Amino acid sequence: MKETPFSLVYESDAMIPVEIQESSPRFQNFVVEEPNEGKKVNLDILDEVRDQARIKAEALKKRVEQKQRSKLRPLQFQVADLVMRKAHPYQLEKKLSPKWTGPFRVVEVLGNGAYRLETLEDGAIPRTLNGANLKFYFS
């Protein structure tokens, strides 16, 4: 955005204490303007600077969002596929506990990324699971 947050809020550049104590050229050449004239000019420019900063920030957010969406590849599971389920926080006993549990078999595809699963030995799981919490199981 080429503007510091300090300059957007306080309408001037920030100076660090070392610049003031050591008499830096920036401090020595600082000119105190007439309060009314300088403020009027800065107020006119300030709205434009803030608008430009807001436009640049929104454009950056859109570019980042498009970049992230281009990397997404939704997984589609079919009936009888073997999948792993993301472990619940209560299943993560220790730091090195496995982050995925399973394998499970897909019993039914419900649409909108919802799936009904069953374990390989015990049977059906009573609730549906979101496809975002599943990944393919490779044996």
Task: Provide the 10 A C-beta neighbour count for residue 77.
Answer: 17
CATH for 94: 2.30.30.140
Query: What total of structural domains would you count in the chain?
Result: 2
How high is the pLDDT of residue 18?
A: 62
Instruction: Write down which residue in 23, 47, 71 finishes a domain.
Output: 71
Question: Which is higher by pLDDT, 57 or 28?
Answer: 57
Question: What phi and psi, each to the nearest 5 degrees, are found at residue 92?
Answer: -90, 85
At residue 38 the predicted structure's pLDDT band, cuts being 50, 70 and 90, is: low
In sequence order, what are the residues at sequence separation of 6 or more whose Cβ sits closer than 8 angstroms to the Cβ of residue 139? Answer: 82, 103
Tokens of 7: 């300059």
How high is the pLDDT of residue 68?
A: 86
- Whether residues 64 and 105 fall in one domain: no
Instruction: Write down which residue in 44, 71, 98 finishes a domain.
Output: 71
In a domain, 76, yes or no: no
Q: Mean per-residue pLDDT for 58-81?
A: 87
Domain housing 112: 82-136
pTM value is: 0.48
Q: Where are the beta strands (DSSP E) in 68-113?
A: 82-86, 100-111
Question: Which is higher by pLDDT, 118 or 35?
Answer: 118
- Whether residues 9 and 63 fall in one domain: yes
Kindly state the DSSP code that residue 87 receives in the 8-state scheme: P
In one-letter notation, the amino acid at residue 99 is K
How high is the pLDDT of residue 116?
A: 92
Tokens of 13: 């550049």
